[in-house]
Amino acid sequence: MWMTPKRSKMEIDESRAFRAEWTQRYLVVEPPEGEGALCLLCRRLVAATCESDVKQHYEAEHEYYERYVTEDERAALVERLRRGDLPEAAPLTPEQRIARAGLGLARLLALKGCGWGEGDFVHRCMAVMLRDVLPDHVGIMDGIDLSPETTRQRVLDIHQNLRSQLFNRAKNFKAYSLALDDQAFVAYENYLLVFVRGVGHNLEVHEELLTIINLTHHFSVGALMAAILEALQTAGLSLQRMVGLTTTHTLRMIGENSGLVSYMREKAVSPNCWNVIHYSGFLHLELLSSYDVDVNQIINAVSEWIVLIKTRGVRRPEFQALLTESESEHGERVNGRCLNNWLRKGKTLKLIFSLRKEIETFLVSIGATTVHFTDKEWLCDFGFLVDIMDHLGEISELLRVNRVFAAAAFDHICAFEVKLNLLQRQVEEKNLTNFAALSQVVDELKENLQEDEKVLDLERYRGVICRIQKEFERHFKDLKFIKKDLELFANPFSFKPEYAPISVRVELTKLQANANLWEEYRTKDLGQFYAGLPAESYPIIKGVACKVASLFDSSKICEKAFSYLTRNQHTLSQPLTDEHLHALFRIATTEIEPRWDDLVRGRNESNP
């Protein structure tokens, strides 16, 4: 357990009170009312008094003033600002404004997954608009270069800027976790997406793409491990600060003797490292279970139907809702592998099931096979798949909500395991109350079968649910190992000290006796509460909070990458270098805002 201090305590300075050194560092002062931090430059009040908020405001709005480097220059600048003498930042030149516009357009093209050559089309559209609306300004477009070569380079420049900002933040991570996703497909190439979730000084959480690794070039687990370690070293992240590892359920990741997780855990074993918590299946949860559930190759048949509908049934009004949803996910072109994975996520199976009669009529009209619609076992399997994927979809939706911390995610997983037990009992009792689609199929089949003819075999479905239960138990067992840590993090005032390790009982008793901290816990969210908890008084509890906060609590960032891939599969299937692919996925998934002035003025922090 993390509450047991097996190694040196984390040194965290988490004071939320205004600190005098912020004045020169971030050009803020303590306001007269004594709460927050008042910016000397824009006179805005930064409401939260944690350093990360003050720093974020300064870096986003006033980083130009970093040109005042020495202590004397900063002190003189503060005095001028106190007197109201505001040094003006050098305005952008016309050429720089044009460059900034080009960078912004390149970013939009990347976010939309447009090809490099589409910048020229955008340029022509804007020229036409300006010619009719603002004819005096049409000449502005002459200076904006949106050629494929320039757009490619600007996307790379934005990527380097975002990457540099991430590395600067990573230096201050007190703990971090990695998410390894190898179930996203780009055309016929496999890539491993490596995401990092880090926790800074004030428990501020950052989730970003760390790197993309081409699995074709790093086929062996050893080569993959070396690539990940290189990415960590480049970002300034040591294994000593790694807390958790969440992965998919593939053999490459969790193979008992040759999986990547085994290699990484072995590498992280040292007196200075924490016990690395691993949980798989958290990413693409429906994919984990659907391979067990898809007992009769339902997905392959359904994906063939969708392809036929998209190519030969587009004018049929009954399919418009299905086509609209499919195109919102995939665009107009269909990649079979992306389509299958999308269907395995269960998003549209319900809609397709409700259209099964219309689909059968359509298949007959075009001369396609309808053998599945006369196979009672296949139809029952289809209904069961729709029902169980609907249940899995509910837990998956809960696990897509981020910023709730791993304790809440663990509660959702435990609740779903209870639900699986209920479904298991209902199947044993032949009770289809929570299997609406299967019940509907059974009722339809009973109308056309003899009374003594058996409609379905529930025993095989009981086996499927049993396999899902075992998968959940196997993939999330490490979270159960730190159950007490999660409970302490989520409910520190109701956690009984006698159930805690001896090392933390004194801190926990002192915490629960503090009325002021109880009031903060009651009125603030968990992140704010632990950010304000004095590290010098509660070092072990603070350390537990930092580690728990660094665990991935949702699959949101991986879902963003998967969604970007499926929407833009045609563009991403074009010849792209790994560097450009990395740039596109970083821009699509990041929460960091590019520093436009740095990009325009040619200033960029040096990358390691």
Please give the pLDDT value at position 289: 57
Q: Under a CB-based contact definition with an 8 Å cutoff, are residues 174 and 241 in contact? A: yes
For residues 39 and 30, give the distance between their C-alpha atoms in angstroms, rounded to a whole number.
9
pLDDT band at 8 (very low <50, low <70, confident <90, very high): very low
Best CA proximity match to 225, nearest among 195, 192, 273, 249? 192
Lowest mean pLDDT across 29-38, 88-97, 124-133, 388-397: 88-97
* Segment 146-175, tens digit of pLDDT: 888 889 999 999 999 999 999 988 988 999
pLDDT band, residue 424 (cuts 50/70/90):
very high
Percentage of the chain lying above the pLDDT 90 cut: 20
- Report the alpha-carbon distance of residue 60 to residue 594 in Å, rounded: 9
Separation CA 472–CA 289 (nearest Å): 9
Order of strands, edge to edge, in the sheet holding 45-46?
28-29, 37-39, 45-46
What pLDDT does residue 70 have? 80
- CA torsion 411→412→418→419, rounded to 10°? 160
* Residue with the larger pLDDT of the pair 280 and 493: 493
Residue labelled with tokens 């109880």: 518
User: Mean pLDDT for the chain?
Assistant: 81
Crossing angle of helices 376-398 and 405-428, in 10° steps, is 160
d(CA 319, CA 152): 38
Q: Decide: helix, strand or coil at residue 242.
A: strand
| pLDDT tens string 28-78 | 888 877 678 888 877 788 876 577 778 877 877 777 677 776 888 888 888
Task: Check residue 136 and give its pLDDT.
Answer: 80
Q: How far apart are CA 237 and CA 167, in angstroms?
A: 9
Residue 607 pLDDT: 39
Helix/strand/coil percent split, the chain, to 5: 60, 10, 35
- List the one residue out of 284, 231, 277, 281 whose CA is nearest residue 253: 281
What's the confidence (pLDDT) of residue 338? 56
| pLDDT beyond 60 at 453 | no
| Distance in angstroms (rounded) separating the CA atoms of residues 89 and 65 | 8
Give 87 or 476, the one with higher predicted confidence. Answer: 476
Sketch the domain layout of the chain as residue ranges.
Answer: 20-83, 90-281+565-607, 287-478, 491-549
The pLDDT assigned to 180 comes to 92
- Angle between helical axes of 94-111 and 148-170 (0-180°, round to 10): 80
pLDDT digits (tens, 9 = 90+) for 252-262: 888 777 788 88
Q: Residues with Cβ < 8 Å from 451, sequence gap 6 or more?
A: none
What tokens does 283 get? 């990413």
